[in-house]
Amino acid sequence: MSLSTQSISSLRQQLTSGDIQPSDILDSLAESITSQNDSIGAYLSHDLDAAKQEANQADLSQPLGGIPIAIKDNINVKDQPCTCGSKFLDGAYQSPYDATVISKLRAAGAIPFGRANMDEFAMGSTTENSALGSTCNPNDITRAPGGSSGGSAAAVASQTAIAALGSDTGGSIRQPASHCGVVGLKPSYGRVSRYGLVAFASSLDQIGPLTQNVEDAALILNAISGYDSSDSTSLAQDVPDFTQGLDQGVAGMKLGLPKEYFGEGIDPSVREQVDQAIAGLESAGAEMVEISLPHTEYAVATYYIIAPAEASSNLSRFDGVRYGNRVDQPDDILDLYRRSREQGFGPEVKRRIILGTYVLSSGYYDAYYNRAQKVRTLIRQDFQNAYQNVDAILSPVTPSAAPLLGSDRDNPLQQYLADIYTLSANLAGICGISVPCGKVTSESGSQLPVGLQILGPHMGEQKLLQIARAAEIQAGN
């Protein structure tokens, strides 16, 4: 069996026994990348020599000692490019520092290896918005892998990565994990430091792992969690061992089924797979409880006011002056700003900047942004009320399986609506995970993965992972 196909725990056993060395894993991954990346496009770049130098220093006694992990290209790794999938930074920026999650991975013995493709500045749900080339779904290369962490999900699914880090602002870990058939975990807001993550929407962004299985997700979460004084939103809470209790099952738990997430709009074949996963958890001893999240209908509108507003503010730093690409011979400073941003940003980024600037502008702030923040509070309260009666919430991740590449390229509203089941978790700051639960057959006959979404209360990752492991077992994974 190729080393690139194995889980973290399996590789760790071989590393600690001395049967293999970290460089052997890197060689196996590099071979897989060479054979597959031209057709899938999961990676923007990878530096095997630098990774091998780091592997020689890896502490194999640490929990992730010797394990290579792919990194979404909006997370800073010292001396590596960080393009955010944008022309603005491509070839013009090399990170001078490590993000906190990278420092924590290295402290745990892991080796950052490869820059994973993404929608430009994490704005998109297909990875077609990358200015540096699209990524294909390894299950069917005519299909999108999801986004914005599509490169990370595709790398794990194609077994060109053992595991990967992504970021989730409105579903950008969970949605591509569902489409590609891997595990994708969005931690609670404040659980993992955002320092060194290029910000899209600061009150929504969260870094998390994409892995082959639930145990691997727990291992990585152990490493990257914890308070960080460099991130003012990081919470000073104890970090439990998330691998403990994974196999304790769900007997006696109450799991909520929100009626708003099981109405019209779900593809019947996707609904069938999700229903089977729910039935499996019920047979394992969980009690299913119908619940209501009454403000769900306002979630998409609320998100697409708050997220673009924060993006408009965060992306103002990309002005062609401090770093990144800039135009030649501008007429004046305003011309420098205007043309650098016009040429550097893609259509979706421009769309969201314009929308965000509009809702923050004088005369519209109260009507849009301020009102959206009030509705966000109501959405958060919906979840808080639900968790008084249930341990976690189950739902689909997306209304349909992976779409054909290009099918929604000219219909951004359709892409926005596809986030209906994922973005509320970001608005509420809770944790969520996508676990593969089955496959559906496409029109061409390919098998497309479907994920079950499990949503837990804020800082409830330990029980969330326990439920996810039970779902994984019921699905036969």
Q: Which two tokens stand for residue 274?
A: 């999700």
Tell me which DSSP letter residue 286 carries.
P
Contact assessment for residue 183 and residue 435, using Cβ atoms and an 8 Å cutoff: yes
Q: Which of 28, 72, 149, 225 is catalytic?
A: 72
Using DSSP, state whether 119 is helix, strand or coil: coil
CA atoms of 8 and 465, how far apart (whole Å):
16
DSSP 103-150: HHHHHTT-EEEEEE--SGGG--SSSTT-TT----BTTBTTB---SSSH
Q: Which of 28, 130, 167, 172 is catalytic?
A: 172
CA atoms of 109 and 59, how far apart (whole Å):
5
Backbone φ and ψ of 255, nearest 5°: -115, 130
Contact assessment for residue 33 and residue 78, using Cβ atoms and an 8 Å cutoff: no
Which of these, 410, 336, 311, 405, lies nearest to 86 by C-alpha position? 311
Q: Which of 148, 178, 312, 434 is catalytic?
A: 148
| Identity at 396, one-letter amino acid code | P
CA 295 to chain centre: 24
Q: Which two tokens stand for residue 117?
A: 């493709």
The answer to whether residue 87 is catalytic is no
Neighbour tally for 176: CB within 10 Å: 39
The answer to whether residue 178 is catalytic is no
CA atoms of 69 and 376, how far apart (whole Å):
34
The answer to whether residue 72 is catalytic is yes
Q: Which two tokens stand for residue 477?
A: 């994974």
Residue 206, CB half-sphere, CA atoms under 13 Å: how many? 36
| Identity at 376, one-letter amino acid code | R
- The region, left, alpha or beta by phi > 0 then psi within -120 to 50, assigned to residue 184 is beta
Burial class for 10, CB neighbours closer than 10 Å (0-12, 13-18, 19+): middle
Q: Which two tokens stand for residue 298?
A: 């306002």
Burial class for 164, CB neighbours closer than 10 Å (0-12, 13-18, 19+): buried
Active site residues: 72, 148, 172
